[in-house]
Structure 1
């Protein structure tokens, strides 16, 4: 008889894991910079991956030079994103099935850098909101990824020790965040924004798609 698994919860990232929206975020942000006639600096896209709304909007306002203060930049960006989601919400292969599969075995949480408005829009649009017992935007904690704050908050809301939870992440800062919170991390790297080698080293395993994230795979991480 196999040893029982210690895993008590699974926590998903959203952008780049459930939805293929990392590229959309980049397009919208670059579009705003172009509208305002400011160049896009090298490394800006990677720098903002995982940042909370206050953090990336401040970065866009001060480092990139987009017009307006941070709250105004955030507002412009989120309005553009909501409009794009309404037109078409690109979902990554296997996302809905993976959520439904794992929800049949564990309580699920979500730790996202997206603002609350977009988290709620996405989960409702995908018909998955009822599967998640706790969702946290990095707007709702002190620091965004790679800080552990978001993942730690989700574990607290789920009532589980982070060391008994598994996180599913695509980005370097997301992997760093979940690992810093004490979670075992499954990496599902995004082709457009491949994670750094040092972030991948923090993960428990790496898969090519969500179809590979089975109940058995997650259980084995706790043995």
Structure 2
């Protein structure tokens, strides 16, 4: 049983966005004289928009509703992506290289507005047959919902799909969905050992990802 499709994560795989997210959200929180909790950054990696905006509103204490927090932060992020997209070197080429051999999906914790903006700025609009935000499924990562939905929309079993992920929650999500997991660990925000252990293949950077490597997974 070979791999028939590849599903990419976005943040940390195609764009090096975690530092941008942290900078924007820390700055936003500071405007209200609040500070991140010790585990806020780690907890928010992979969370859906309602989850992280709820965390900032209810636990960090930003005096805005989660919906208002989400709108505020997402608008700031979209503007950053329009003017300065933090593409990971080799990521666009990897998407095009794999897209020549496999149908592609995108399963991201980013909001739809950011997914669409990144793909437009990167010139990748149309490169993916399916794009999904965790906003559009019941639960965010590490639950498997977004990867299960991506496989369903591709018309395939998760067992014949490979997922490309970097974060602990993302790796756990793809593994829970039953996909073959490829880890591209982030240098600044590396995944936990137990999450990384669920990967069938680990590459140092996205430029190493080839159709031949995908073919070895099953």
- Regarding TM over 0.5, the answer is yes
In the aligned structure 2, how far is the partner of 1:22 from the partner of 1:164? 29
For residue 184 of structure 1, what is the aligned residue in structure 2?
180
For residue 91 of structure 1, what is the aligned residue in structure 2?
87
Q: Segments of 4+ in structure 1 off by > 2 A?
A: none
1:7-46 paired onto structure 2 within 5 Å: 7-46=3-42
Q: CA deviation at 1:205?
A: 1.2
SS at structure 1 position matched to 2:62: coil
Q: CA deviation at 1:127?
A: 1.1
For residue 218 of structure 1, what is the aligned residue in structure 2?
214
Give the TM-score normalised by the residue count of structure 2. 0.98
For residue 2 of structure 2, what is the aligned residue in structure 1?
6
Give the TM-score normalised by the residue count of structure 1. 0.96
Structure 2 segments unaligned to the other structure (5+ residues): none
Q: Does 1:118 align with 2:114?
A: yes
For residue 107 of structure 1, what is the aligned residue in structure 2?
103
In the aligned structure 2, how far is the partner of 1:39 from the partner of 1:106? 44
Matched-pair contact (CA < 8 Å) for 2:166–2:186 = yes
SS at structure 1 position matched to 2:67: helix
After superposition, the C-alpha distances for 1:132-174 in whole angstroms (9 at most, x for unaligned) are 0000000000000000000000000000110110000010000
1:111-190 paired onto structure 2 within 5 Å: 111-190=107-186
Matched-pair contact (CA < 8 Å) for 2:162–2:182 = yes
Q: Does 1:55 align with 2:72?
A: no
For residue 80 of structure 1, what is the aligned residue in structure 2?
76
SS at structure 1 position matched to 2:131: strand
SS at structure 2 position matched to 1:195: coil
Q: CA deviation at 1:102?
A: 0.3
SS at structure 2 position matched to 1:129: coil
Structure 1 segments unaligned to the other structure (5+ residues): none
Q: Relative to structure 2, which stretch is displaced further, 140-149 or 121-130? A: 121-130
Q: CA deviation at 1:67?
A: 2.2
How many residues are matched? 218
Q: CA deviation at 1:87?
A: 2.0
Q: CA deviation at 1:129?
A: 1.7
In the aligned structure 1, how far is the partner of 2:22 from the partner of 2:9? 17
In the aligned structure 2, how far is the partner of 1:65 from the partner of 1:93? 36
Matched-pair contact (CA < 8 Å) for 2:82–2:121 = no
